[in-house]
Chain A
Amino acid sequence: MAHVNYIHNIPFISIFLTMFGGIITPLFSNGKIAQKINLIIVCIVGVLSAILLGSVWQNKESFTFMMGHFPAPWGNELTAGPLEALMALTFSFVMATTLLGGAKFIQNDILAEKQNLYFVMINLLFGSMLALIYTNDIFTAYVFLEINTIASCAIIMAKGTGESIAATLHYLIICLLGSGLFLIGISLLYSITGHLLMPNIQQSIIQLTRTGEYAFPFAVVIGMIIIGISIKSAVFPFHFMLASAHPAATPASSSILSGLVLKSFIFLNIKMFYCVFTIDLIRNLRITNVLFLFGLIGMVVGSVSALKETRIKHMLAYSSAAQIGYIYMGLGLGNHAGMVAACFHILAHAATKAMLFICAGGLMSVSEGKDGIHDLRGAAHKNLMAGIGFTVGGLSMVGVPLTAGFVSKLYFASATIYSPQKMVITLLTLAISMILNAMYFIPSAIAIWTPVEKKTERPKVSRRMEIGIAIFIVTNFCLGIFYKPIIDMIELGIGLL
C-alpha cells in the first residue's frame, strides 16, 4: 500500500467536509443543532488549515493535489501553498468567530423554521470560498463562483423582509454581470489556449505572447476575466450593491459578505494574475494601472459617501467599498511589495470589518433596532463589549498604530517606493482617505460613548457575542503587533504562487 501524505489531503478534506455539512444540514429541523454542526465543521477546517500552514511554511513548498485518478491536464486539480493556507486559516477563523458572535442575530432575525436552511447556505458558501482559494482550474473556479453567488444572495435574503429582497435583487444583478463576463472570458480563453488548468494555460499564454497570435481575442479575454472578478468584488463603480445589501441583511451575513466573500474574489484575481496571465504581462498591458486608478477613486468616493451617511450600517458598507479600494490600489501598484500589502490588508480588513458589523448589530439591538447614529447615543454603555469592539475597529480602520489597519497602511506607503511614478498620488490619497476615515469614525465613536442621563437597566447581552467580539479585538491587536511572521508567510506564498 502506497504511503499517504495526509497533509496534502487537507485542501480536499476541507472542501468536502464543508460541502458534506451543507448537504446534511436540511435534515435537522432545529436551527440550533444546525448552527452547532456548522460551527464545529468550520473549527475543524480552521485547525486543519493551521496544520497545513505549519507544514508548508516549514517545508517552504507549494503542492498540487490530483482530484481523481487522472493527472494534470485531464482531471481537476487543487493547489496549496503558504498563501492559500493562510487565507483558508483566516477565512475559517473569521467565519467561526462571526458565527459565534452573530448567533443571536441569526436566531432573532430569521424565522425559526428556515434557520437550518440559512446554515446550508453558510456551509456551502464557506465550501465555495475554500474551493476558490485552493483551485488550480479556472472552470472549477467558475462553478464555485456560481455557488458563492447564489449562497451570498441567499444569506442577504434570509431575513425575508421586503427591503432585504430588494437588496438581494440589486446584489444578484451586479454579481451576475460579473459572473457572465468571467464565463465569456473563460470560454474564449479555452478556444485560444485549449486548456482549463492554470499552469497549462500559463504555458500556452507565454507561447501566444511570443508568437503574437490571437492578440485581440486575448486582450478581450484578459479584460473580461479581470473586470468580471473585480465587479464581483465590488470595486468602485459597482460598490453601490454593498450599500443596499449590508443594511438589509442580518449582521452576521453582512460580516461574512464584507469580510470574506469579497475577499475570496480578490484572492481569485491575485491567482489569475500570478497563475494564469503572469504578472509581467499584466504589468505590460497596463491592467495594473486601471485597477490602481479605480482603487484610488474607490478609496476617496467610498470614504466621502460614508462621511455623508447618518445610518451606521450604510456607513460601514461605504467604508467597505473604500477598503476594497485600498486593496485594489495595492494590486495596482504592480510591484511585489504592493501585492504583499494588499494581501495583508485582505486579512486585516476581514478581521476588522467582520467585528465592526457584529458590534454595530449589537449596538443597534440595545437601541431598539434603530440604525441612525444619533439613535445609538449611549449604546456603548448598555453593551460595553460591542462599544469597545466598535471603537477598536474604528481605530484600526483609521490606521492607529498597534492595530491591524496601521500595518497594512504602513506597507502600502512603503510599497510606493518601488513604483516612483505612482508614489505621490498614492501617498496623497492614502492621507486623504485616512483623514476621511477618522472624520466618520470619530463622531460615531463619540456618539456611542456619550453618557445618557436616564438610568435605564442594562439589557441582557448575549454572552456568545461578547466572547466573539473579544476574540476579534485580540486578533486585531495581534495582527497589529506580531505582523512580521504573517508578512513573511505572505511574501513566501506570493513567491510560490
Chain B
Amino acid sequence: MNEPKKKSTWRHFVDWVNGEEAIEVPKKISFKKIDFNKIKENFEKYIWSGRKKAIFYLVMCAFVCTVFIAILLHTVSALPYFGGGNNPASNEVVQRYIESGVEETGATNIVAGMILDYRAFDTFGESNVLFLAVICVVMLLKKDKYNTTQQEIREEKEDEMFDKEDDNTILKRIANLLAPMLFLFGIYVVLNGHISPGGGFSGGAIIGAGLVLYASVNGQQNMQRFFKYKTFVLINVTCLLTYCILKGYSFFTGANHLPNIIPKGIPGALFSGGLILPLNICVGMIVACTIYGFYALFTKGEI
C-alpha cells in the first residue's frame, strides 16, 4: 500500500466487486474514531458549520410547523360546530348508545357500556397496549449485564443506606395515612365504573398513584414484601387472560347468535352490567400495575 491513490480503474472495479471499496465511502459514526485534537484546532470552523446546519433545521422546522398549524386551523374552522344537533356525528349510532344503552348493556354509565360492551374489542387492544408497554420497559430497563455497571450498583447501595438513616416521620405518617385512602377510593371508582363516572382506567390510575406514593415513601424494600416482580407478572397475566377468555366467550356467542348465560342484572345495582364489572376490575388492576411498574423500573430498574 505504498501508493494507494494510483489505482487503475480495473483495480478499483475489482475492489468494488470484492466489497472492499464503496463507490462513495459511507459516513460511519464511531465515537472512538473521532479525533478530538483536530476538532479543537478547527473549533471555530466546526462550530460554524454545525451552527449553519442547526439554523437551517430550525428554519425548516418552524416553516413546516407553521404550514401544518395553518392547515389544521383552517380544517378545524371548516368542521361542524362542536355538539351541534345536525352534525354528521349525531347519527343513529349515538342515538342507540344513548337511548337503549342502559337496556342493552345493563350499565347506567353509558361510556362504560360503550367501551366495554359495544366496542369491547378496541378496549381489549388498549389493555394489550398497556401490557405491551410495561413489558417493553421491563425488557429495556430491568437490570441485566448490558445496562448496569458496577458503579451504578454501588451508588444504589449507598442510596439505600441513606434511605434507612433519615426518617421523615411526618412525611411517612401522612403518606401512610393517605395511601390506604387512595387505594380505597381507587377500588371504589373501579367497582362503580358501570354505575357512575369512572371505571377501570381512571380507578386503576388512582390505585397506581397510591402504590407509587407508598413505594416512594417507604422504599422499594418494603414494597417488595408484598409486590415482587412475580406478583406483578402474575397479576397482569391473570387479568388479561380473564379479559381475553370472558370477551372471547362473549364475542363467540354474540357473533354466532348463541345464547349467552351471563345475566345483565338490574341497571344501577352493584352486580349488574353483565361482564362490565369483572372487565373493569381487570382493566383497573392492569392500569395500576402498569403505572407502578413504570415508576419502579424508571427509578430503580427493579420491581
Contact = CB atoms under 8 A, between A and B. Distances in A.
A216 B74 contact: yes
B13 to A, nearest CB: 10
Interface in A394-425: none
Interface string A111-145: 10110011011001000000100000101100110
A26 B241 CA distance: 12
A213 to B, nearest CB: 9
A290 B258 CA distance: 48
Given A150-B132, A153-B136, A67 B255 contact: yes
A193 to B, nearest CB: 6
B24 interface: yes
A212 interface: no
Given A140-B125, A310-B26, A372 B260 contact: no
B196 interface: no
A36 interface: no
Contact of A113 (B75, B126, B144, B253): B144
Chain A interface helix/strand/loop/mixed: helix
Interface in B185-220: none
Interface in B148-203: none
A137 B119 CA distance: 10
B257 interface: yes
B248 interface: yes
A157 B140 contact: yes
A150 B136 contact: yes
Interface string B114-135: 0001111110111011011101
Nearest to B258: A2
Interface string A1-31: 1101100110010001001101110110000
Nearest to B97: A74
A26 B126 contact: no
B53 to A, nearest CB: 17
A374 interface: yes
A487 interface: no
A444 interface: yes
B75 A140 contact: no
B89 interface: yes
Interface stretch (B15-23, B55-63, B265-273, B287-295): B15-23
Given A2-B258, A67-B121, A121 B75 contact: no
B19 A443 contact: yes
Interface in A409-456: 443-444, 446-447, 450
Contacts of B90: 194
Contact of B17 (A111, A308, A443): A443
Contact of A214 (B79, B89, B122): B79
Contacts of A376: 19
A310 B21 CA distance: 7
A95 interface: no
Nearest to A124: B132
Given A23-B237, A147-B125, A372 B146 contact: no
Interface string A341-353: 0000000000000
B144 A23 contact: no
Secondary structure of the B contact surface, majority rule: helix
Contacts of B138: 117
Contact of A147 (B80, B128, B146): B128
A151 B125 CA distance: 13
B145 interface: yes
B250 A374 contact: no
A169 to B, nearest CB: 11
A68 interface: yes
Interface residues of A, number: 79
B34 interface: no
A193 B146 contact: no
Interface in A157-175: 157-158, 160-161, 165
Contacts of B133: 150
A117 B139 contact: yes
Given A124-B132, A147-B129, A9 B256 contact: yes
A373 B18 CA distance: 7
A272 to B, nearest CB: 18
Nearest to A221: B75
A20 B119 contact: no
B241 A20 contact: yes
Nearest to B23: A308
A75 interface: yes
A369 interface: no
A26 B78 contact: no
A256 B88 CA distance: 41
Interface in B78-98: 78-80, 87-94, 96-97
A389 B260 CA distance: 52
B252 interface: yes
Nearest to A375: B19
Contacts of A220: 71-72, 75
B78 A217 contact: yes
A191 interface: yes
Contacts of B97: 74
B14 to A, nearest CB: 10
Contacts of B94: 194
A238 to B, nearest CB: 14
B251 interface: yes
Given A74-B96, A160-B144, A191-B88, A147 B18 contact: no
Interface string B218-260: 0000000000000001101100110010001011111111111
Given A120-B135, A150-B133, A443-B17, A9 B252 contact: yes
A73 B248 contact: no
17 contacts: A19-B128, A67-B121, A68-B251, A68-B255, A69-B254, A75-B119, A150-B132, A157-B140, A191-B80, A216-B75, A217-B75, A220-B72, A309-B22, A310-B20, A310-B26, A374-B18, A447-B18
Given A68-B250, A118-B139, A121-B136, 15 more contacts: A2-B256, A4-B256, A12-B255, A23-B237, A69-B260, A76-B120, A111-B145, A120-B132, A131-B125, A157-B140, A191-B89, A194-B87, A194-B93, A220-B75, A443-B19
Interface of A: 1-2, 4-5, 8-9, 12, 16, 19-20, 22-24, 26-27, 65-70, 73-76, 111, 113-114, 117-118, 120-121, 124, 131, 137, 139-140, 143-144, 146-147, 150-151, 153-154, 157-158, 160-161, 165, 184, 188, 190-195, 204, 214, 216-217, 220, 307-311, 314, 372-374, 376-377, 443-444, 446-447, 450
Q: What 3 A-B pairs are tightest by C-beta distance, nearest first?
A: A373-B19, A143-B125, A69-B254
Interface of B: 16-24, 26, 71-72, 74-75, 78-80, 87-94, 96-97, 104, 117-122, 124-126, 128-129, 131-133, 135-136, 138-140, 142, 144-147, 233-234, 236-237, 240-241, 244, 248, 250-260
